[in-house]
Structure 1
Amino acid sequence: MKAILLAAGRGSRLGSHTLHEPKCRTMLLGKRLIDRQLEAFREASIRDIAIVRGYMAGRIQVAGATYFENRAWERTNMLASLCCASDWLEREPCIVSYTDIVYTSDVIELMLGADEDDDIVIPYNTNWLPLWEARFPNPLSDAETFRLGSDSRVFEIGGRPTTLQEVEGQFMGLLRISPKGWRMIQQFLSIQDQSLVERMDLTALLAGLIEQGVAIKAIPYNGLWLEVDHESDLLLYENEYGDRL
């Protein structure tokens, strides 16, 4: 199993924190976000790691890592960065991670233990609501729909919910993709308008795959998971999560 970290974006909503550093190198309680992710993968015994770079690419230097470059990072989204790592995705299963999130090796181990016959696997956080209530005056203003079928497959993802009943959890920015799963993704992308693909994030990708009948296996997880989008997130986590990070 290999890991691919998507680290091309600037993260302009973090303001001065990303003037001279890519978002993934933002400091949280004395440690950079990307270093926390690398630590989680290494604790789960995953040593082969690729990083998709873009904004201030030279600032991301990790010993032993393989680099892919998203040179169009200013006008593209997360899916375009993922496609930059197609060479790895075609060859063997990979765990893909956003780099503006915080988690532990527990969730990586959970993904490693998923059925090998499931070609696209995502963990979802079942304890998302207290975090969203702390981050937003109205948690539904930023949450996305997430509903499951009876077979632990994702039925709906990425919409705008109007009730909490539409949100059974939140996509965590982590997924495991097999080579077969990547072929299904490529087939889906081949029939999409290129300009749409450039703007598409991974949640929109998953929603599109589901519409085409592709099975997305979902695994519940209630451990540590934080998302960093705003300076207020950093302040919140420093105040509330210091003893857990």
Structure 2
Amino acid sequence: MTIERAVILSAGKGSRLYPHTEERPKCLLDLSGRTLLEWQLDALAENGVRDVAVVTGFGHDHVAEVIARRGTAKGGIELIFNPFYQVADNTGSVWLARGRWDRDTLLLNGDTLVSPELIAAVLANDVPISVTVDRKDAYDADDMKVLREDGRLLRIGKALTECNAESIGLLAFRGAGRAAFVEAVERVMASPDGVRVWYLSVIDALAAGTVIGTTDIHGHRWQEVDYPADLDAARALTAAWTVEDWARR
């Protein structure tokens, strides 16, 4: 059975993109006539993922305006406001949306630009938990590094000294994997340091005793948007997608 539900984490302020994000959140940056969030929603909708929750924080009202204008023709969008976005890391946003994991779910970072074809490749992997990864010749300090073997994730984290892939910020949860993840998130959030934990640290801890798969999307086009140079690359990529879309008509 395919996945029809997704959670997008878009609560952060995106301060590394100042001045572009001083008044509007990163997910509403304009990329070739559409916001980053709209590109994400369209890629999901083209694959039948039309039940989406967006966890917001900074700029919630602006996001609500964009969603209201979008309407429901391509699916329903629920906004979940995270009032703790300035003091809690993204595991807090996952915790607020944990009720969404009662069905198979995609989890997407709000700054990851992806194509419909990439989403289709992720949906084709039916393991209980799958981390979407790409490969390149070298990895820097800001990459979310992954160590994997025969498709199984062994470790994930920015501080890894040994790695052979990077996470792009897109995960899929099916069946028993959903419950395992939510239970782990609830344990972490009940701990004294819970608000300072990234959700991928939860995945790293789970990997020690749970089989977590990876989906290699090497060759597909995507772009993380963290810095001004990333914004330029994202605009170039979406401009190319727009031209390709018109050429297909």
Please state which band the TM-score falls in when normalised by the shorter chain: 0.7 to 0.9
Partner Cα separation in structure 1 for residue 201 and residue 14 of structure 2: 19
Letter in 2 for 1:7: S
Structure 1 equivalent of residue 152 of structure 2: 153
Letter in 1 for 2:146: F
Partner Cα separation in structure 1 for residue 199 and residue 222 of structure 2: 18
Question: Residue 33 of structure 1: which of 32, 36, 40 is its match?
Answer: 36
- 1:107 to 2:118 alignment: yes
Shift of 1:219: 1.2
Structure 1 equivalent of residue 17 of structure 2: 14
Shift of 1:244: 4.4
Identity of aligned residues (%): 24
Shift of 1:82: 1.2
Shift of 1:231: 1.5
Shift of 1:237: 4.2
Question: Residue 165 of structure 2: which of 157, 162, 169 is its match?
Answer: 169
Partner Cα separation in structure 2 for residue 120 and residue 65 of structure 1: 24
Partner Cα separation in structure 2 for residue 93 and residue 16 of structure 1: 37
Question: Residue 85 of structure 1: which of 76, 92, 97 is its match?
Answer: 97
Question: Residue 206 of structure 1: which of 196, 203, 208 is its match?
Answer: 203
- The secondary structure found in structure 2 opposite 1:172 is strand
Question: Residue 233 of structure 1: which of 208, 230, 233 is its match?
Answer: 230
TM-aligned CA distance change 1:241 to 1:42, over 3 Å: closer
Letter in 2 for 1:14: L
Structure 2 equivalent of residue 65 of structure 1: 77
After superposition, residues 163-202 of structure 1 pair within 5 angstroms as 166-178=162-174, 180-192=176-188, 194-202=191-199
User: Scaled by the length of structure 1, what TM-score is found?
Assistant: 0.84
- The 8 Å contact of residues 98 and 182 in structure 2, kept in 1 or not, is answered as no
Larger mean Cα displacement after TM superposition, 18-27 or 174-183: 174-183
Shift of 1:188: 2.6
Larger mean Cα displacement after TM superposition, 219-228 or 139-148: 139-148
Shift of 1:41: 0.5
- The 8 Å contact of residues 125 and 225 in structure 1, kept in 2 or not, is answered as no
Letter in 2 for 1:45: G
Deviations along 1:97-140, one digit per CA (max 9) or x if unpaired, are 1111111011211222212xx221121112x44xx7xxxxxx52
Question: Residue 87 of structure 2: which of 54, 62, 75 is its match?
Answer: 75
Partner Cα separation in structure 2 for residue 73 and residue 161 of structure 1: 26
Partner Cα separation in structure 2 for residue 43 and residue 176 of structure 1: 17
Partner Cα separation in structure 1 for residue 81 and residue 24 of structure 2: 16
Shift of 1:9: 0.9
- The secondary structure found in structure 1 opposite 2:179 is helix
Larger mean Cα displacement after TM superposition, 61-70 or 235-244: 235-244
- The 8 Å contact of residues 185 and 199 in structure 2, kept in 1 or not, is answered as no
Structure 2 equivalent of residue 136 of structure 1: none
Structure 1 equivalent of residue 131 of structure 2: 122
Shift of 1:146: 1.5
The CA RMSD measured in Å over matched residues stands at: 2.2
Shift of 1:75: 0.7
